[in-house]
Amino acid sequence: MATTIKQAPHGGGQARKATLSGWIGSVLEYYDFFIYATAASLIFPQIFFPKGDPKTAIIASLATYGVGYVARPIGAFVLGHWGDTRGRKHVLVLCMFLMGFSTVAVGLLPTYDQVGMLAPTLLVILRLIQGFAVAGEISGASSMIMEHAPFGRRGYFASFTLQGVQFGQILAAAVFLPLAHYMPEEAFNRWGWRIPFLLSFAVIVVGFMIRRNVDETPAFQHEGEVGAIPKAPMVQAVQESWRDMIRVVCMALMNVIPVVATIFGAAYAVQPGYGIGFSKDVYLWIPVLGNIVAVFVIPFVGRLTDRIGRRPPIIVGAIGSGILSFGYLYAISISNVPLAVVMSVLMWGVVYQGYNAVFPSFYPELFPTRTRVSAMAISQNLGTLVTAMLPAVFATVAPPGTHNIPTVVGSIAFGVTILAALAALSARETYRVRMDDLGNANAVPVPKSEYDRLREQSIADGGSSRAAA
């Protein structure tokens, strides 16, 4: 009983502060990341690659999107090590600086017409830096929020990490929307696309101001006090937690759904080679509306997982969103904007959040404090690395002129989501496990009655409601 109470809230103030920092940091960093993704689908094929072969330009542009993920395992190793040896706070500040500067630099790049092959070469280098930086964001922010959260409320608090990611995507599209709509196409293609990247300078300033004032987590501080900080956390993570790391790799393949929704879906809908004919400003509204719904769904799902566990929403979300990918791509194929919006909202905005809202708590809960950031970072980023190659794969197996594109691409996406669901099914449940026992495969969860009492106590203390504000 005494041990259980010790694992209860660390303090509403610190939980709120950590949650706000993680949320705003995710918004800013993923705004940077996704303006690149949007531009890679909508504009980069025309300005950074040779003219004359639209099929090759589309594949090459989408491949540069995937290149960013190639650097993520390297970033995960370096930044995960940093987070487990120097603290969660320091790694998040570093990630912010790297992402901000590389994104601003993209907005200053010369085009293919100006410098030839040097243009896509520089684009690839900057995308690699972006990928390196983003590798530490989710694992660091999720671990920080989860370790500050009251016992019984970890799922709810940690879900705000991904709510920030979704809001960052909304912000990215919201910046592109008025530019694509109001600017003449020639002006947009020549210089208008640079504006969202140059605005990222604000990321550097705002992100540093927010994250420098965040306290280190009690769990990490305790590891330092007892001398438990490992010299080589990645080695220790593999030795102790390799089975759970494999599970996270497989579950992280769920990134196939945002790939379908925001990357391949955009190219399929707007690139002239496919002949669908969606205008850029109309298409941009489709993922935006899905993300707007997701912003409201995520905290609800996070709260639900604190009651029923982490695994059920992930399994349902994986299978359900995989099935809905067929309908979403079909709606695009018949140029039906209302149906595409409905399918996007269902697939991306609602069902996918069964996974998306949960993994920020579930992944770090599978690992002990001493190796948490490293184990989560490398596992998650290896999984997303695989899915990052999918836009180019989709464009290769279903290029312009291919019949039954929704069936071909949808089948691949559905197969991937089934694998993710099976990985979640094989994992142990973690929502009732005490902080000190996380990562221990033999840990005994807190009895349901005691857990419910502690959870209700934390709610009564008011920490959760204020954190959501």
Query: Rounded CA gap, 390 and 127, in Å?
Result: 17
User: Tell me: the pLDDT tens digits for 276-302?
Assistant: 878 776 777 777 888 899 999 999 999
pLDDT of residue 152: 92
DSSP state letters, 199-229: TTHHHHHHHHHHHTTPPPPHHHHHHHHTT--
Q: At what angle do helices 372-388 and 390-397 cross, to 10 degrees?
A: 20
Q: Residue 139 above 50 pLDDT?
A: yes
Lowest-pLDDT choice from 60-64, 75-79, 111-115, 436-440: 60-64
Using the 8-state DSSP alphabet, how is residue 193 labeled?
A: T
Distance (Å, whole) CA 283 – CA 439: 43
Mean pLDDT over residues 207-231, rounded? 81
Residue 463 has pLDDT above 50, yes or no: no
CATH class name, domain 2-468: mainly alpha
Residue 8, pLDDT score: 41
What percent of the chain has pLDDT above 70? 91
* Domain boundary assignment for the chain: 2-468
Tokens encoding 121: 């070469």
Residue 266, burial from CB neighbour count under 10 angstroms (0-12, 13-18, 19+): buried
| Cβ contacts of 40 within 8 Å, gap of 6 or more | 61, 62, 64, 65, 263
DSSP structural state of residue 437: G
Q: How many CB atoms lie within 10 A of CB 373?
A: 33
Q: Give the model's pLDDT for residue 415.
A: 96
**Lowest-confidence range among 10-14, 34-38, 88-92, 293-297?**
10-14
Q: Tell me: pLDDT of 445 over 90.
A: yes
What does each C-alpha distance from 317 to 12, 255, 351 come to in angstroms?
Answer: 30, 12, 5
Q: Give one word for 11, left, alpha or beta, with left for phi > 0 and alpha for psi -120 to 50.
A: left
What is the reported pTM?
0.84
Pick 417 or 111 by higher pLDDT: 417
Task: Report the pLDDT value the prediction gives residue 354, as an integer from 0 to 100.
Answer: 97
Q: What is the pLDDT of residues 7-30, one digit of tens each?
A: 444 445 667 778 888 888 788 777
Q: Which residue in 99, 76, 77 sits closest to 27, CA to CA? A: 99
Q: Is the pLDDT of residue 4 over 50?
A: no
CA 178 to chain centre: 25
- Where is average pLDDT lowest: 131-135, 146-150, 311-315? 131-135
DSSP 409: H
Q: Quick one: average pLDDT of 184-206?
A: 83
**What is the pLDDT, as a whole number, of residue 21?**
80
Low-confidence winner among 146-160, 165-179, 408-422 (lowest mean pLDDT): 165-179
- pLDDT of 263 over the 90 cut: no
Predicted local distance difference test score (pLDDT) of residue 52: 59
Could you tell me what percent of the chain has a pLDDT over 90?
38
More confident residue, 379 or 68: 379
Is the confidence at residue 308, as pLDDT, over 60? yes
Supply the pLDDT for residue 59: 66
In sequence order, what are the residues at sequence separation of 6 or more whose Cβ sits closer than 8 angstroms to the Cβ of residue 221?
A: none
Residues 64-88 have a mean pLDDT of 84
In the predicted model, is pLDDT for residue 239 greater than 50? yes
pLDDT at 367 over 90: yes
- Single-letter amino acid code for the residue at 16: R
